[in-house]
Structure 1
Amino acid sequence: MEPIRDAVVSLFRVVVGLLFACHGAATLFGVPGGPRGGGAPPPIGAWPYWWAAVIELVAGGLVMLGLATRAAALLCSGTMAFAYFTVHQPKGLFPLINGGEPAALFCWSFLLLVLIGSGPWSFDTLVSRVRKKR
């Protein structure tokens, strides 16, 4: 059962990291169609949207690769918690009402990765094996 669990953890990390990085790319570069399918990218350095997009792209990519996973996932989780409480929660109490389901799901998904790690199919595991050989 453990090999299946390990594989699922690694695949979960790859999918969540890729989806998060895609959000950052869409916001920063207007692909595909820009943020939420329309609109222009935020100006460089614009708080908090440009910075959030950079975190989404870079930290999401690190999570996807499984490199510095716990730190990157913690940053991603915090970014989504901030987004939920500043953008979504003022619109209503429940995520179904305020449109915050993706932020809540990403937040909790990344927090899970902080706690369980990157799984065996990751650069973190590869680096750990190389260091043990030395």
Structure 2
Amino acid sequence: MPVPPTSGHLHRAQPYALGLFRIVVGLLFACHGVASLFGVLGRDGSVGAGTWPGWYAAVIQLVAGGLVMLGVGTRSASLVASGSMAYAYFVVHQPESLFPMTNGGEASAMFCWAFLLLVFTGPGALALDSVFGRRTTGDPDRAGQTPVTV
């Protein structure tokens, strides 16, 4: 089966698309944390400091979202974020109803799966981890993958 001529361009753009996905998902997650902690961005009031599980969830959202957005420790931060969203879905939302559309857990489910994807794919391009203290090969096909130390 012939390969479309655009597939090479799409393949080369994949790390950048993944990097953009990581940045947007991290930013949105961090915004949830900021809104919960400080009562801003359309949220009335904030969660009380140290209250379980709201305050801890908000701190995870802010810190993990920021790290993912910047591309610092992306896989680890994504694993923590994914786990916290799985907890939110199964403990907070799922007891209300089985389906996310009726139990209000759509955001938790989507964030859980988006972060789980980042655990396995890594940060993509434009991550700060690739800038700090490591030289990488100049191979554009490896952009966004684990750098090869030279």
Q: Structure 2 length normalisation: TM-score? A: 0.81
1:32-77 Cα distance to aligned partner (Å, 9 max, x none): 232xxx3x21111111100100000011000000000000000000
Contact 1:28/1:41 (8 A) holds in 2: yes
Residue 56 of structure 2 corresponds to 51
Question: 1:5-16 residue pairs with structure 2 within 5 A?
Answer: 5-16=14-25
Q: Does 1:22 align with 2:31?
A: yes
Root mean square deviation, CA, Å: 1.4
Structure 1's unaligned 5+ residue stretches are none
Moved over 2 A (4+): 127-133
TM-score, normalisation: structure 1: 0.91
One-letter amino acid of the counterpart of residue 13, structure 1: R
The amino acid that maps onto 1:2 is H
Distance 1:128 1:106 in 2: 30
Which ranges of structure 2 fall in alignment gaps of 5 or more residues? 1-9, 137-148
Tell me if 1:61 matches 2:62: no
Please list the CA deviations of residues 15-42 of structure 1 after superposition, one character each: whole Å capped at 9, or x if unmatched: 00000000000000111232xxx3x211
**Identity over the aligned pairs, expressed in percent?**
56
Q: State yes or no: 1:82 paired with 2:87.
A: yes
Residue 70 of structure 1 is matched in structure 2 by: 75
- Structure 2 CA distance for aligned equivalents of residues 125 and 112 of structure 1: 19
Query: Aligned to 2:29, what secondary structure does the other structure show?
Result: helix
| Distance (whole Å) between structure 2 residues aligned to residue 14 and residue 29 of structure 1 | 22
- Cα deviation for residue 118 of structure 1 reads 0.2
Instruction: Return the letter of the residue paired with 1:21.
Output: A
Deviates more, 1:117-126 or 1:11-20: 117-126
> Are residue 126 (structure 1) and residue 131 (structure 2) matched?
yes
2:126 partner SS: coil
Q: Per the alignment, in what secondary structure is the counterpart of residue 92 of structure 1?
A: coil
Structure 1 residue 130 displacement after superposition: 4.0
1:99 pairs with one of 75, 98, 104: 104
